[in-house]
Amino acid sequence: MQNLLVTGGAGFIGANFVHYMLATYPDLRVVVFDKLTYAGRTENLAPVAQHPNFAFVQGDICNLAQVQAAVAQDQIDTIVNFAAESHVDRSILDPDAFVQTDVYGVYVLCEVTRTLGLQRLHHVSTDEVYGPIPTGKFREDDRFLPTSPYAASKASGELIALSYFRTYGIPLTITRGVNTYGPYQYPEKAIPLFITNALDDLPLPVYGDGQQVRDRLYVSDHARAIDVVLRRGVLGEAYNVAADMEQTNLTVAQMIVAALGKPQSLIQFVKDRPAHDVRYALDASKLHALGWQPQVDFATGFAQTVQWYREQEAWWRPIKSGDYLAYYRQQYVER
């Protein structure tokens, strides 16, 4: 791996991955290819913008010619695909872009990998492809039963990619990560939304009774997991990425108001997400066997994340100053 194309690298996990790879591998060249949707922000790449081994291309993974041109121009040998519509609530209101990017866009990347003979396509997927699991943990060969249009589009994209491995033998690996948090996460997702609302003494909208459980992984651990699979993963295989740090949403909301010295009365229970998955949990022993373990426990990652949003108002305030949650008001009304 010498020339890496990171699709969706201007988003939350992609940008953190780019920071990590450039800091870790001095000889690696990294090109970010990103459409710059509402979630893609060049500010996320500011720490590496002047790096001699970094370049940025604006483009759409659904556009075959654009991806081919980017691959040819920089002699790309490896693609890591983070590009996606990623927010469940938006998918419930308007699934169109999810089917485009998360399914058709993955097909385009598979086609480019096949026709241009790339060394690797790594596809970043999610625990949501398995659907909810009230008790126990999913393993990689368990069936897919996704709930939301987002989860179904991610499952479909994976199935296209796996068909390209089986039919054409493209050099594919997949990771399925759990709920990830940390710096640069767009403040529509629960943790950054709750932190930035609490900083402004605004309500923290907890869906339903707040008893849904998520396993929460710090973003640098997610980035390292992808790097480990790029280097040591077996072609055609998927790897679960889990932190084993489960909490309910209500617990996280309570921790946030406590950490910021705000009253618990800021927590407001609102109308539940339709078909809200009660719990996700993954068994990551297959990835542990490659030598990966999470390094950041929830207490540490949580404290770092709260501190980052405290210090980076200049990053999030412009996002929140517009009507960025217009979609949200259509769907959720306070009880």
Residues that bind ligand NAD (CB under 6 A): 7-8, 10-14, 34-37, 39-40, 60-62, 82-84, 86, 101, 105, 124, 126, 154, 177, 179-180, 186
Q: What angle do CA 157, 163, 165 make, to 5 degrees?
A: 110
- 186 near ligand DAU (CB under 6 A): no
301 binds, among ligand NAD, ligand DAU, none (CB under 5 to 8 A by kind): none
Q: At what angle do helices 190-199 and 313-321 cross, to 10 degrees?
A: 90
Q: What are phi and psi of 20, to 5 degrees?
A: -65, -45
Q: Are 168 and 236 in contact (CB under 8 A)?
A: no
Nearer to ligand NAD, 40 or 233 (CB): 40
Alpha-helical (H) ranges within the chain are 12-24, 64-73, 88-93, 96-99, 105-115, 149-168, 190-199, 219-232, 249-259, 285-288, 298-311, 313-321, 326-331
Closest-by-Cβ residue to ligand DAU is 126
Nearer to ligand DAU, 156 or 212 (CB): 212
Residues in 55-94 that interact with ligand DAU by CB under 6 A:
86-88
74 flagged as catalytic: no
Nearer to ligand NAD, 150 or 262 (CB): 150
Of 127, 158, 221, 227, the one binding ligand DAU (CB under 6 A) is 127
Of 44, 91, 113, 126, the one binding ligand DAU (CB under 6 A) is 126
Rounded CA-CA distance 138/136 in Å is 7
In the complex, what is the shortest distance from the CB of residue 59 to ligand DAU, in angstroms, rounded to a whole number? 21
Of 19, 29, 35, 189, the one binding ligand DAU (CB under 6 A) is 189
Q: At what angle do helices 64-73 and 105-115 cross, to 10 degrees?
A: 40
60 binds, among ligand DAU, ligand NAD, none (CB under 5 to 8 A by kind): ligand NAD
Residue with tokens 């709920």: 179
127 flagged as catalytic: yes
Nearer to ligand NAD, 10 or 162 (CB): 10
First-to-final CA distance of the chain: 52
43 flagged as catalytic: no
- The torsion defined by the Cα of 222, 192, 98 and 137, in degrees rounded to 10, comes to 50
Closest-by-Cβ residue to ligand NAD is 11
273 binds, among ligand DAU, ligand NAD, none (CB under 5 to 8 A by kind): ligand DAU
Q: Are 173 and 235 in contact (CB under 8 A)?
A: yes
Rounded CA-CA distance 19/231 in Å is 18
- Residues designated as active site: 127-128, 150
